[in-house]
Amino acid sequence: MAKNIDKMLISQLIEDSDIHIAELAKALGVSRGTVRNRLMSLKNSKVVIGYKARARLKQIGMDEALVGIDILPEKYLDVISKLRDTESVKELYRTSGDHSAIALMVADSESIESEISKLKSIDGVRNVYPSFVQETVK
C-alpha cells in the first residue's frame, strides 16, 4: 500500500511541486499526516531528491542548455565529480546511449557559451554537444 501511495504522491509532485499537503491528502484519499510521513520517508531514502521552480529563463536574460558529454571511461568518476561541483550545472544525469552524461546548464545569456566551453577543459571530457533551449513547451 505504501508503494502505491508513494507512486501517486510522486506523480502529483512531478505535476505540481508547489501543491499543498492538504490537497495531496485529498487527492490521494489519505490523511495529511500520512502525506507528511511518506514525504519524509521518501526524502530520507533519497527517492525525492529535491523540488524546483520551472521558469521561462529567457524572459529574465538567462539561457539554459542541455549538454551531452562524452567522457573517457577511465576518467568517468572524476569528471562526474567535477561536473557535480560546477555551479552552472543545475542537473546532471548519468546516461547510456549517445553520451556518457547529460547536464542541464543555466547561466546568464552572455556567459552560457563560455560556461559550456569550460566543460571541454575538464580532464577526461572528450567532447560536449550543447543544445540550447529555445522554449519550454511543457
29-36 contacts, C-beta under 8 A, 24 or more apart: 30/5, 34/5, 35/9
- Are 120 and 68 in contact by the 8 Å Cβ rule? The answer is no
CA distance 89 to 118: 11
Number of folded domains in the chain?
2
pLDDT score of 62 more than 80: yes
Do 36 and 65 have their domain in common?
no
Check: CB of residue 106 under 8 Å from CB of residue 62: yes
Per residue in 107-117, pLDDT (tens digit) is 998 999 999 99
The answer to whether residues 69 and 126 belong to one domain is yes
pLDDT in tens, 9-56: 999 988 888 899 999 999 999 999 999 999 999 999 999 988 887 788
Q: Say if residue 26 is in the same domain as residue 69.
A: no
* Range of the structural domain that residue 16 is part of: 2-44
In the chain, % of residues over pLDDT 90: 75
Q: Does the residue 114 lie in any domain? A: yes
Is residue 14 assigned to a domain? yes
Instruction: Tell me: do 34 and 67 sit in the same domain.
Output: no
Please state the three-class secondary structure of 65-121 as a single string. Answer: EEEEEEECHHHHHHHHHHHHCCCCEEEEEECCCCCCEEEEEEEECCCHHHHHHHHHC
pTM over 0.75: yes
- Same domain assignment for residues 114 and 63: yes
The CATH number assigned to the domain holding 126 equals 3.30.70.920
Instruction: Indicate whether 68 and 20 sit together in one domain.
Output: no
